[in-house]
Amino acid sequence: MSNFIQIGWKYSKPWLFPLAVACIYGLCQLYDPESTARSIKVCKALFTQLGLPICIVLVMMTLINRYLDPATVARFLGSKTGIRGVFLSGLAGIISMGPIYAWYPLFKSLKEKGASTFIIANFIGCRSVKPVLLPVLLAYFGWQFSTVFVLINLFGAMGTAYLVGVVCPNTKVD
């Protein structure tokens, strides 16, 4: 019987917090239904905003772990990739969407497979340039400002990535 309880506890333990939150919402619903409805609406909005990027990263991590071996990652994103690796990481950073912390597990996985610190830092730095926002930037500030701003961001990302690469050379992730 003891073994049965241990197995039950093992599988039910992760559900205690969500169950407690659901109970609190149920109690709040009894006392203040309007505030509870607003709260549930905000939680739903947050979940939909964060859920999609996290799901995309999980799918990407699954695909990377399934189909990419360390030699391939090192060839495209390693310390000896040259200008191709800088270009690929910059482009990936520019087109990436979602909150940056959703990408951290992917970066860790890539680092463990041989990606260089410089390439990962360049990806993170290039995230400040967003193609979907360029028309707004152009409309408010014009071509000259927008071009200089984007170029300085991209070169700044490479400079920052270089410094990160020098200070934190390619070491194993803990």
pTM (two decimals): 0.57
Percent pLDDT > 90 in the chain is 17
CB atoms within 10 A of CB 51: 13
**In the predicted model, is pLDDT for residue 71 greater than 70?**
no
**In the predicted model, is pLDDT for residue 173 greater than 60?**
no
pLDDT in tens, 107-156: 888 888 778 888 889 988 988 888 777 888 888 898 999 999 999 999 99
Instruction: Tell me what pLDDT residue 154 has.
Output: 92
Average pLDDT of the residues of the chain: 81
Residue 36's pLDDT band (cuts 50, 70, 90): confident
Distance CA 174, CA 78 (A): 18
Q: Do 121 and 161 contact (CB within 8 A), yes or no?
A: yes
